[in-house]
Amino acid sequence: MKYFIVTYGCQMNVHESEKIAGILENMGYTLAEKREEADIIFFNTCAIREGAEDRVFGNVGNLKKLKKKNKNLIIAVCGCMTQKSQTAQKLLNTFPFVDIVIGTFNLSRFSYYIEAVKKGRQMEIFDEGDIDETLPYKRTSGDNAWVNIMQGCNNFCTYCIVPYVRGREKSRKHENILKEVEDIVREGKYKKITLLGQNVNSYGKDNENEISFSQLLREICKIEGDFKVSFMTSHPKDLTDDVIDAIAEEDKIEKYIHLPAQSGNNRILKLMNRSYTREKYLDIIKKIREKIPSCRITSDFIVGFPTETEEEFNDTVSLVKEVRYDSIFAFMYSPREGTVASKMEGQIDEDTKRLRVNKLLKVEKGIQKEDKNDN
């Protein structure tokens, strides 16, 4: 029996695909080199941008002929996209040959769903639950080991679907995280450990008895072994001085921070519900540069947010020029059904968004070229 996994989206999805692989291998399945050889094909989906959903629908649709040839083939779809009930129903209506559609909280029972399908049932499950500490992993990211420290998000940025599909913030117990890191280090195969969460800086805030994120970082650094630790993703409003101090003072923490700004204009930041200003963001950057001079800083930006003017977009350009990031990721705003921003007036046309994102990326490329020549 063989399996094939297609993963879309963020590092959290990559890690969850490792969990699926672990479950399947515990059931006796082995990895197929291509989907035509597989007995189970699993799509782990993303809902952040419309393009990601379109790719999923296209790739699932392409399996219709394969399913006709092999009626025992099991096709499963999971992830953020399927957690949206309307999208999941559309998927089932469009592709009735799909056997399993589950949400982001149901991986722990995946083996049960497979057995149910083999008995002739179609599974559609969207229960919410806690992080399952017992799932096996088949790590697939070379010498890097992903460690999920929390799930969900409480920020409700107006453009973002994550809080609706991933739920509210839930932190893992720090004892379990430390044990997982100890086990990883003991294996001796991984030189890098990356802590994951939609907003790692909020770790522990949902439980008054839990330690803070900076304390967690320092506890991890006490573990003996040859490894480096990093994390993603940070929200600027929660990147506190004690976290910056921990990065500066602990040799095992990589001198790298991914700090999404999203916009350089205060009106747009307020519309996005980002809970900080351009000035506050730059103050954080200043602290990082002062305390960790060698720190690499990267960022995310969204251009063409509803009502964004050319002048407001130029504020984003000027922020990129001022900070001089090591690299940036720039995206055109993509309306996601169910978010506040999708209902806003003043939606920007696609051509304008495309021009702006290309301009921002060109500016960033120019900065990289200048910095390379200086070195």
Give me the pLDDT at residue 252, please. Answer: 97
Compute the 3-state secondary structure of the chain and give helix, strand, coil in percent, each to the nearest 5. 45, 15, 40
Q: Give the domain ranges of the chain.
A: 2-125, 141-254, 257-375
Q: Is the peptide bond before 30 cis (omega within 30 degrees of 0)?
A: no
Q: Would you say the CATH fold of 257-375 matches that of 2-125?
A: no
Give me the pLDDT at residue 102, please. Answer: 83
Distance CA 45, CA 80 (A): 6
Q: Which fold, 141-254?
A: Transcription Regulator spoIIAA (3.30.750)
Share of the chain above pLDDT 90, in %: 61
| Regions of the chain short of the pLDDT cut 50 | none
Closest CA to 302 of 312, 293, 294: 312
CATH architecture entry for 2-125? 3-Layer(aba) Sandwich (3.40)
Give me the pLDDT at residue 105, please. Answer: 74
Helix (H) or strand (E) holding 145: strand 144-148
Paired tokens of 276 = 């900080």
Give me the pLDDT at residue 131, please. Answer: 59
State the CATH class of domain 257-375. Answer: alpha beta
Q: Is 290 left (phi over 0), alpha (psi -120 to 50) or beta?
A: alpha
Orientation angle between helical segments 213-221 and 241-249, nearest 10 degrees: 10
Q: What are phi and psi of 231, to 5 degrees?
A: -155, 160
Distance CA 168, CA 154 (A): 5
Contact assessment for residue 123 and residue 89, using Cβ atoms and an 8 Å cutoff: no
Q: Please give the C-alpha separations between residue 291 and each of 39, 139, 260, 284, in angstroms, as whole numbers.
A: 53, 34, 19, 11
Paired tokens of 184 = 């990883």
- Determine the distance from the C-alpha atom of residue 247 to the mean position of all C-alpha atoms in its chain, rounded to a whole number: 22
